[in-house]
């Protein structure tokens, strides 16, 4: 039987940092990354045969839980026919039609392989459609690792930006403007001076990549008004929130229509996927009909398409009602345990929940990344280790959120209570 330490030593020899995505490395934590062997429902099993109640859920795609039987059946059927063609196929049309028919402001959709690709394409579309270069984004919103989105505000001056990763030219940073979430006055001032240079404002309407930072509807409405006023585009990054907080994501929940929306995660049913969608007048800029180039060998992979369609078909209104009940039960149990067992050690933490998303947060009502305590990671580490010892798997970072699925049913709630209170 393999052990985690042994596998991680091998992995570090073969892979930079031992991982294929940085957050999996358990950086800043005492534990060795868990090597997962299998999963089912709400549970993971590692190579040492220990089981965990999973609240990472592959960082969001698995709204039905691991290895949902209906999704599995569709995926296996697709595999039996062939798993990539490099040609036109009917499966993406079925998923595209289902999405277009059920989300009123979407007329066309282009499938890609990841959320990063979706955002990259949306930004390129916005620049081509407006014939402008500048993009406004917000501190605390993550839009994948495309160069123009790995930018932070520099020197406290909002119209001077710096790269947040090595390998990105300063010339790219200069066209990405970063503001704090909710800062209407700074945005208004900037747009008054530079609005005709701005191609788009991009935002997670519910920021969920640097903690969970819910925004006021009034702020998002303000962004819609500002972009309309200056003929810029509003891009909603709904890679996490799309089909999770509601079938139509935050756009539908708030009644605010963006010009472009990016999706990922849930629309692939657990397989690699991303998408950019919007009205024809913008989407038809894409090649082969337009002059904005985008391509992908594995885009609209047939296995991801059928898995995504089956997942979305199962998301009836009653499913969201059930998911809300499970989420309320789960977070109540976690909150009760945190309050009883903090004893000074976990005094910072409580649970903040938005639908089936939750964050173990140092204080309530945080809506901006700049307000997150600087010692968050240090304080989170012993809590994470304690949860892990109880057989509960959280995302291994203080800044990552938790995900609840339809597999986190009453039986799982009971098991969660037992693991927390009996150990």
Q: Catalytic residue numbers?
A: 142, 237, 265
Instruction: Using alpha carbons, select from 97, 76, 60 the residue that is nearest to residue 239.
Output: 60
Q: How many CB atoms lie within 10 A of CB 204?
A: 25
Torsion of CA 295, 99, 137, 234, to 10 degrees: 110
In our burial notation (b when 16+ CB lie closer than 10 A, e otherwise), range 267-301 reads bbbbbbbbbbbbeeebbebbeeeeebebeeebbbb
Contact yes or no for 333/416 (Cβ under 8 A): yes
| Gap between the Cα atoms of 150 and 398, Å rounded | 20
How do beta strands 357-361 and 350-354 pair? antiparallel
First to last CA, the chain: 26
How far, in Å, CA of 80 to CA of 74, rounded?
A: 10
Closest to 137 in 3D by CA, of 170, 167, 175? 175
Q: From CA 229, how far away is CA 225, in angstroms rounded?
A: 6
């Amino acid at each position: 039987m393999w052990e985690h330490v042994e596998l991680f030593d091998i992995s570090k020899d073969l892979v930079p940092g031992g991982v294929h995505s940085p957050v999996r490395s358990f950086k800043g934590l005492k534990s060795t990354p868990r090597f997962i062997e299998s999963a089912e429902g709400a549970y993971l099993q590692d190579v040492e045969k220990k089981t965990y109640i999973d609240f990472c859920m592959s960082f969001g795609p698995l709204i039905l839980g691991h290895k949902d039987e209906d999704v599995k059946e569709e995926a296996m059927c697709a595999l039996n026919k062939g798993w990539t063609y490099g040609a036109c196929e009917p499966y993406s049309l079925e998923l595209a039609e289902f999405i277009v028919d059920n989300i009123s402001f979407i007329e066309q959709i282009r499938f890609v392989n990841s959320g990063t690709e979706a955002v990259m394409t949306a930004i390129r579309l916005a620049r081509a459609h407006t014939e402008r270069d500048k993009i406004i984004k917000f501190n605390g919103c993550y839009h994948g690792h495309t160069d123009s989105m790995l930018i932070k505000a520099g020197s406290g001056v909002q119209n001077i930006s710096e790269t947040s990763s090595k390998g990105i030219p300063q010339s790219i940073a200069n066209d990405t403007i970063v503001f704090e979430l909710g800062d209407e006055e700074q945005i208004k001032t900037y747009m008054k001076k530079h609005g005709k240079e701005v191609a788009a404002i991009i935002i997670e309407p519910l920021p969920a990549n640097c903690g969970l930072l819910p925004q006021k509807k009034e702020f998002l409405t303000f962004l819609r008004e500002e972009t309309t006023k200056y003929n810029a585009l509003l891009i909603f990054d709904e890679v996490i929130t799309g089909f999770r907080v509601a079938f139509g994501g935050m756009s539908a929940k708030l009644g605010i229509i963006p010009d472009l929306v990016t999706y990922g995660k849930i629309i692939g049913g657990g397989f690699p996927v991303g998408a950019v969608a919007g009205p024809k007048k913008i989407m038809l800029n894409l090649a082969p009909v337009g002059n904005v180039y985008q391509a992908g060998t594995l885009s609209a992979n047939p296995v991801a398409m059928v898995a995504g369609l089956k997942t979305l078909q199962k998301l009836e209104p009653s499913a969201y009602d059930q998911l809300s009940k499970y989420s309320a039960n789960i977070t109540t149990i976690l909150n009760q345990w945190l309050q009883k067992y903090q004893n000074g050690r976990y005094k910072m933490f409580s649970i903040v929940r938005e639908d089936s998303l939750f964050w173990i947060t140092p204080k309530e009502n945080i809506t901006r990344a700049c307000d997150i305590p600087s010692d968050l990671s240090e304080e989170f580490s012993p809590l994470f280790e304690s949860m892990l010892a109880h057989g509960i798997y959280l995302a291994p970072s203080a800044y990552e959120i938790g995900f609840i699925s339809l597999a986190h049913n009453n039986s799982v709630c009971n098991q969660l209570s037992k693991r927390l209170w009996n150990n």
